Every structure is written in structure tokens, then in C-alpha cells.
Amino acid sequence: MTLAAPRPFAARLRGVNPVWAVLLLLLLAILLLNPAFAEPQGFMNFLRRAAPLCLLAAGQVFVLTSGGFDLSQGAVVTFTVVGASMLLDNDEGATGWVILVLLAAGAGVGAVNGLVVSVLRVPSLIATLGTMIALGGVVMTWSGGAPRGYLTDGFRAFGRFMWRDVPVVGLLPAALLVLVAGGALLWWLLHATTYGRLLHAVGDNPEAARLAGVPVARVRVIAFVASALSAVVAGVLLGGFSGVSLDVGTGAELQAITAAVLGGTLLLGGRGLVGGAVGGALTLSALFTLLNLLGLPQPVREVAQGLILILAVAFAVRRRGT
């Protein structure tokens, strides 16, 4: 890092991640169609609903930065929601330890992913695909194919609760606090610690990193654990406003990868941006909100997500000029 000389305004503007400009445009478009969006109720609800995807994307960034993919995130989300309903068993007092157990299980899943990739040398695409399939089977066996439990109010509060009459913002969802805390932790880990630098080195050139003495296996395992833990937290938040079902997490990993890529994280490793991933997740959520407001059905949202995914990556390739 050289000393940051004061840069002209135009240059500083070019340094801003373009995802925020896209997000701003989308938010303005939503505001135009629905002025109520500017009120705390509308805007805070939007943030609350987007929070799980933001966390998933921020966690996925760790694995993407290491050069891999984590396809098991969605399965971990489903495992969290269904597992919570099985473990809680309508006991309000159980909320605390159930969340701890789920976090521990998530860390275990992440560690298995990381070890299979770095010790058994199975490409992460296959390794996490195996985890996704196997974990799906575990959840179905555990719930007998038809989860019927309920989530306690205490558990649901993380995703659902809003403080009212808060100064300045008016409403403050608990989910937003969880997002800020989790996002800040992940940002710090990737962008302000030695670990973050080692992870970038591993993703950029694993062989060179190994020869330079980087503990490649340990760095990779931690990345998968971070991704899985973020999926557990996202699952807890999702449990607050979605029902208990076997497909609550379906496709979440693909949305998370899309969001991370929108935010400027490079596939196949070497550059990850936690802040950008959160911006990407908000952009994707804003886009879905907009398409919803326009009265477009679910299939059109899929088409839009597909086109945006391709365009974002093609655009990133052009910018890099490779």
C-alpha cells in the first residue's frame, strides 16, 4: 500500500464499485412506481428481506476468493430451518442452545467441505455438490419427508422483529443488526487480517502460495466454514419470515454466487469483495422487488436473473480487458 494521495473527484468516482450505481438506479425506479417505499416501513422491510441473501453472498465470497464454489449453502439453509423446527419442539426456552447447535453443525459441514477439497483433492464443485445432495437426504430422513414442526416466536424474532419509534430511522429490524454485525465481521476477516491476504494468495495461485509457506489446506477449510456459518445465520433469519419447508433454501447458493459476481468478486479466485457482495445482493433483491411491482410473474424474474448474471460477468471481463 502506498500513501493515498488525494485523487481528483472523477478518478475517485471511477473507483466506486459500479454495483452501487446500479442499486441506486433500481431503488429510484422502485420509488417512482411506489412512493411508499421511501417510508421506514417500506425501506426497512426491503432490507429485512434482503438480509439473508446479503449474508449468504458475503460468505460465498470467501470460497469464491479461494478459487472454489460452495454449492451446499442452500442445503445448509434448509437444514437450519427444518432442523430448528425439529430441535425446538415448541420449547421457547430452547432457542439459545438450538442456534448454537445449528452453528456447530454448520461449522462441521463447512469443515467437511474444506477437508474433502484440500485433503482428498476433490474439486469444490463436486465436493459441495455431494454435500448438497447428501445434506438434502439427511434433512428429508430427519423430518420424515414432511416437516411439520413450528418455529418458536423467540427463534423467529431474529428475522421478524422490528424496533419501533427508533430515532432517525423510525423502524429498526433485528435482521438488519444481524446483517451489519455479520457483514462487518466477514469484511474485517477478508479485508483487514493476514488471513484475508493469505486467502487471496491461495485463490490467485495455490501452487505459489503453498511454496511460499501458506498453510493452503487450513486457509481453504476456514473459507468453507465461513461460508457455511453465514448460511446458518441466513437460515435463522429466513426462518423468521418463511414457512418450514424442504425447499426454503433451494437455489440460494446460485443467488449468492450471482450477487457476489455482481459485486465484483472474480470467479476462480484471487479477488473477493464482501462489501460488493452485499451491494450485489441488495441489487438482486431490488431487481426482484421492481419486477414484482411491475406485476411480472416468477418465470420472468428467472429470465431477468439469467440475463443479468451473464451480462454482469461479460461486463467484468471487458473491464479487466482480458
- Footprint on this chain of other proteins (rule: CB under 8 A): 66-69, 116-118, 120-127, 129-138, 140-141, 145, 203, 206-207, 210, 216, 254, 257, 261, 267-269, 297-310, 313-314, 317, 322
Task: Closer to other proteins by CB, 69 or 155: give it.
Answer: 69
Question: Taking a C-beta distance cutoff of 8 angstroms, is the pair 50, 285 a contact?
Answer: yes
Task: Closer to other proteins by CB, 94 or 308: give it.
Answer: 308
Helix (H), strand (E) at residue 171: strand 170-173
Question: Taking a C-beta distance cutoff of 8 angstroms, is the pair 58, 183 a contact?
Answer: yes
Task: Closer to other proteins by CB, 152 or 258: give it.
Answer: 258
Radius of gyration of the chain, Cα coordinates, nearest whole angstrom = 20
Question: Taking a C-beta distance cutoff of 8 angstroms, is the pair 84, 98 a contact?
Answer: yes
Task: Closer to other proteins by CB, 15 or 145: give it.
Answer: 145
CB of 114 to other proteins, least distance (A): 11
| End-to-end CA separation in angstroms for the chain | 25
Question: Taking a C-beta distance cutoff of 8 angstroms, is the pair 42, 34 a contact?
Answer: yes
CB of 254 to other proteins, least distance (A): 6
CB of 244 to other proteins, least distance (A): 17
Crossing angle for the helix pair 274-293 and 174-191, to the nearest 10 degrees: 140
